[in-house]
Amino acid sequence: MEIQYWLAEIDQHGNPKLIDGAHGDPQGPANARFLIESMHLGEPGRKFATAKVELSPCVPSAAGINLETVRTINAAKEWNAKH
């Protein structure tokens, strides 16, 4: 497991977009924001936050998936490929 800190821009819905690259500590995103603002990059009024990202392996899982729908879609794709 790895922890990263990112500068995130917050959109109108409150969703973050990671924008500057991973940092090893929270000071990195603070420095990135300072540089963006001091060099007048981007539009005024942008909202930022520090995002703490925890990386862990992502193992595929069918839990909660409607497998019948997956089979139906795959069958339709196969049919379309043949016709």
Tens-place pLDDT, residues 29-62: 999 999 999 999 878 889 999 999 999 999 999 9
What is the overall mean pLDDT for the chain? 94
pLDDT for the residue numbered 19: 94
pLDDT for the residue numbered 42: 76
Residue spans of the domains in the chain: they are 1-57
6 close to 51: Cβ distance less than 8 angstroms? yes
pTM over 0.75: no
pLDDT for the residue numbered 73: 95
